Structure 1
Amino acid sequence: MNWNSWIRQFHRWVSVAFTLTVIANFVVMGMNGGQQPPPYVTYSPLLPLALLMFTGLYLFALPYVARARSGRGSLSSS
């Protein structure tokens, strides 16, 4: 498995982890009866969100970098 495939697979699994932490956050908020949940529950989605941001930016930039490396990235039209 090459580097780009590994990053893409990692991004997918982190998105699952992020979704589960957000769902858990809502469940704990609903079970607390209006009280503030513990900080570790409130802040638990932040680490997966940061990882999603970095891997997402990498995946977003991939086609542009590949196009620039291949030499087809010029803006002038022939």
Structure 2
Amino acid sequence: MSLWVRQIHRWLSIAFTATVVANFAAMGLGEPPAWVVYAPLLPLFLLLFTGLYMFVLPYAAGRRGG
């Protein structure tokens, strides 16, 4: 399970970076549409949850005795 979460976290970071770069590029061309401005939020929230999961993993494993 943790291997899947790590892989998803990596791909989400790529998607987040791409949406932020697209956001700055759109701002350079003028006023971007709202969907471009808010596009990085979905990968960001998913990164938050996967990152918190990976942060808690060592503590949960220590509590289980593994």
Distance (Å, rounded) in 2 between the aligned partners of 1:62 and 1:19: 25
> Percent same amino acid at aligned positions?
61
User: 1:56 is matched with which residue?
Assistant: 51
Structure 2 Cα separation of the partners of residues 37 and 27 of structure 1: 9
Q: Distance in 2 between matches of 1:15 and 1:22?
A: 11
The offset of 1:37, in angstroms, is: 1.3
Q: Equivalent residue for 1:76?
A: none
- Report the aligned-residue RMSD: 1.0
5+ unaligned residues in a row in structure 2: which ranges? Answer: none
Question: Which structure shows the higher helix fraction?
Answer: 2
Query: Is 1:68 aligned to 2:49, yes or no?
Result: no
Deviation, 1:12, is 0.2
| Displaced runs of 4 or more, over 2 A | none
Structure showing greater Rg: 1
Separation in structure 2 between the aligned mates of residue 14 and residue 37 of structure 1, nearest angstrom: 23
Bigger relative contact order, structure 1 or 2 (CA pairs below 8 A, ≥6 apart): 2
One-letter code aligned to 1:63: P
Aligned with 2:22 (options 21, 24, 27): 24
